[in-house]
Amino acid sequence: MAEKRFIIKKEDTQTLARVGKMRTAHGIFNTPAFMPVGTRATVKTCTPHELKGIGAEIILSNTYHLYLRPGHDIVKQAGGLHKFMCWKGPILTDSGGYQVYSLSPLRSISEEGVSFRSQIDGRKHFISPEKAIEIQNALGADIIMIFDECTPYPSDYEYAKNSMELTLRWAERCKKAHKNPHQLLFGITQGCVYKDLRKKSVEATVALDFPGYAVGGISVGENKELTYEILAYTTPLLPKEKPRYLMGVGRPEDIVYGVSCGIDMFDCVLPTRNARNGAMFTSSGIVKIRNAKYKTDFTPLDPNCNCYTCQNFTRAYLRHLHIENEILAHRLHTLHNLYFYLNLMRGIRQAILNNTFAKLKDDINALVSLGALNSPDGTKQRL
């Protein structure tokens, strides 16, 4: 009998949160998991050794960007993405659907696929579901995604319905095109903010029997309250025995809420992007290191953090590096923010195991209520 790929070790008694393990061709990762984003085969400013050192177990890379440069054929010649970027652990590649969505002025969607112009040099390209699988097969990631249309918000019901059905047809084509048994192909559910479409999308996608499922088209412009409502409705519809992935959503309070709904996997550029902009996540809220009040602050960035940055440098020094636009600032800030996120995931897993997840939610809510972890739209959303 084949070993199960996904094992649930413990379920929370008050929510749908669970702790598990996911087995892939390049190793096992613990869930709930946060995947640092390595868009172009690199997590910006960090070496693979450093990522492993702060606890990263799986990372994400971007199919669209690697297709454009250096090209999936080159990555394949290098021995695949793992060898190309010297990362020995699991990798997930998205299909490029979201990037195509974000290029709306430069693309055209048809039944066959998407025609678009590269934002690099203006050249015309075409990606079909079959092409998306071909690219991801060449990259060699452990988990790959179907090619979907990320339905924009707002969309009227008819557009959302047609978009969701197109994604379903593309999912069938992706599954038919996928031939590598060592790569796990995940399905993606859509449906915008319409619950009946979400339900139909889940039912039809699950009928295709993928080894894992993602909730797509979330947090693409709708308010936080609606995001949470759709997430809480959709996630429990997905098979309990398979991993569930929330794509591209990743403020700390969003992660905790997603876990409470039964989500197992997350990714987001927020910790690395914020780091480069000088905004750091700490146990007492976000620190904007450019602020003048840190000029003579010789305390650690976060006295409760054990990362390399906090154990060795002061806020005054980090502000100095940031003001001077030193490369070291980006590195130290990124290491800290990613450590914060990965440590948050460790804390979430331990809280579920200890039956204290409800308290962890309350602690995060307290920071939100104080305005320390404001949502992107400035609202203070309770979990």
Quick one: CA torsion of 231, 7, 363, 260, rounded to 10 degrees? 20
254, 264, 267, 302: which one is catalytic?
267
Cα(182)–Cα(168) distance, integer angstroms: 23
Residue 314 DSSP class: B
Tokens for 50, please give them. 């450093």
Cα(216)–Cα(46) distance, integer angstroms: 28
94, 142, 148, 302: which one is catalytic?
94
Tokens for 239, please give them. 């098979």
Residues composing the chain: 383
Task: State yes or no: is 94 an active-site residue.
Answer: yes
Cα(214)–Cα(167) distance, integer angstroms: 13
Query: Please, which residues have CB within 8 angstroms of residue 358's CB and are 6 or more apart in sequence?
Result: 14, 15
Task: State yes or no: is 363 an active-site residue.
Answer: no
The edge-to-edge listing of strands for the beta sheet with 27-31 is 6-11, 18-24, 27-31
Active site residues: 94, 267
